[in-house]
Amino acid sequence: MKLPDKTGNTTGASNPQEKVPAASRSSGRVDELLKFAESLKGTKYRYGGTTPATGFDCSGYVCYVYKRFGIDLARSSASQYKTNGTSVERENLQPGDLVFFNTSGRGISHVGIYLGNDEFIHASSSKGGVKVNNLKEQYWNNRYVGAKRVLVAE
């Protein structure tokens, strides 16, 4: 599998026939995605934002990260929850899963990318733009709605 790097060049196995277990390929892909997601930490928040140059809102950030790896997601967090991926129970979260929250009191209104160890990365409208938070923090724990898996083993 070849993945684009930050410059748009591809990286990965040079021989497509190379025998690599599916779990390793999937894990490597997730690792690359998470590295890329974390490389955007500190990018400012901007409602409706979809690029590092202008800033991100939560769903714009998630779309930008996954698009880099050839995965097109719906644009809004509510649409992502409704149409993308397979539902995952909280106790079965894996790095790369999308985590969804109700921060508005009116349904799904926020999304982030699960990093592991109860941490997720997201574009926050308060304090710092793209940053990492913990699902066990009271604010996020109380607003957690569910998760979706969009990365699958090949």
Q: Is the dihedral of CA 151, 76, 57, 3 positive or negative?
A: positive
The percentage of residues in the chain with a pLDDT greater than 70, rounded to a whole number, is 81
Residue-wise DSSP of the chain: -EEE-TTS-EEE-SSTT----HHHHHHHHHHHHHHHHHHTTTPPB-TT-EETTTEE-HHHHHHHHHHTTT----SSHHHHHHHSSEEE-GGG--TT-EEEE--SSSS--EEEEEEETTEEEEEETTTTEEEEEETTSHHHHHHEEEEEE-----
Annotation marks residue 122 as catalytic: yes
* Size of the chain, expressed as the number of residues it contains: 154
Annotation marks residue 110 as catalytic: yes
Distances 108 to 17, 59, 134, 146, 148 between C-alpha atoms, Å: 42, 11, 18, 9, 13
pLDDT of residue 27: 76
Annotation marks residue 24 as catalytic: no
Chain-wide mean pLDDT for the chain?
85
By CB atoms closer than 10 A (0-12, 13-18, 19+), residue 17 is exposed
Stretch 25-42: mean pLDDT: 90
**Catalytic pick among 30, 33, 58, 98:** 58
112 CB neighbour count, 10 Å cutoff: 29
pLDDT digits 0-9 by tens, 76-102: 999 999 999 999 999 999 999 999 999
Report the predicted TM-score, pTM, of the whole model to 2 decimal places.
0.82
pLDDT digits 0-9 by tens, 142-153: 999 999 999 865
Q: At residue 70, does pLDDT exceed 70?
A: yes
Q: At residue 1, does pLDDT exceed 60?
A: no
Stretch 63-77: mean pLDDT: 97
**Catalytic pick among 29, 34, 99, 110:** 110
Q: At residue 3, does pLDDT exceed 60?
A: no
**Catalytic pick among 73, 113, 122, 124:** 122
